[in-house]
Amino acid sequence: APLSVILIGSESLTIEAGRQMRARGCDLHAVVTHSADVRKWAAGEGLDVLGFGTGLAARLGDPVDWIFSVANLELLSADLLALGSKGAVNFHDGPLPRYAGVNAPVWALLNGEVQHGITWHMIEGGVDEGRIIAQEMFDIRASDTAFTLNTRCFEAGVQSFARVLDAVENDAPHAQVQNLGERSYFALAERPDGYGFVDHTHPRDEALRLVRALDHGPYWNPLCTA
């Protein structure tokens, strides 16, 4: 029987994951989103589309094999996660366990990392703590900004998703337990030192790194600007 899934998320990566699932013949039971674009895509595919809010698990109804949280910032309730009889999978825009939490590309740039990556992991235990199904790493370029690094995370997410579907079709037997001793967690309220003010005594490279890390291009900046 085809895999039955509930897809949850509100970005272009959500749609891309949905397209790959449809191409594989997955049974997309429902799509849950905040996004008008995702809603439009799902409606065009003839899929059930739901918004967040009270009683979501009850509104979704029947259990499915897997729940996929793809570019979704909402914490999913226990009764919702219980609808995934085999489990739930989340996309994370950073390498776990070192960049758990939010705004991982920004923190990686601020910390002067030379590599970044994305992680597909099970939703189990604490936030971003579940077993890793797939991870895709790439080098950070000297010119990368938060905007370009986010774009590259999207591309890595698209490219690696087939591996994720391969894994869950076999119940993800090779999922790797994270070494939580290496874990760093970046909270929603965290901000760079000095709230992004460039200190004139800083070395030039450090000042430029701050500017690039907080440059979200045409997109909303969730932190602050340099």
CA distance 94 to 132: 12
| Tens-place pLDDT, residues 200-220 | 888 998 899 999 999 999 988
H or E element in which residue 16 lies: helix 12-23
Residues in CB range of 85: below 8 A, 6 or more apart: 63, 64, 65
pLDDT confidence of residue 173? 85
CA distance 121 to 134: 7
Quote the pTM value.
Answer: 0.94
Q: What's the chain's length in residues?
A: 226
pLDDT confidence of residue 181? 94
pLDDT confidence of residue 19? 97
CA distance 27 to 202: 54
- Contact at 8 Å (CB) between 95 and 149? no
pLDDT confidence of residue 84? 97
pLDDT confidence of residue 38? 97
The CA–CA distances, whole Å, from 19 to 32, 56, 118, 159, 191 equal 15, 23, 20, 13, 35
pLDDT confidence of residue 195? 87
pLDDT confidence of residue 213? 95
pLDDT confidence of residue 172? 86
| Tens-place pLDDT, residues 3-46 | 999 999 999 999 999 999 999 999 999 999 999 999 999 999 99
pLDDT confidence of residue 202? 84
Please give the backbone phi and psi of residue 19, each rounded to the nearest 5 degrees, phi first: -60, -45
- Contact at 8 Å (CB) between 198 and 210? yes
**What are the per-10-residue average pLDDT scores of the chain (226 residues)?**
95 97 96 97 96 94 96 93 97 97 96 97 95 97 96 97 96 92 93 88 90 93 90
H or E element in which residue 121 lies: strand 115-122
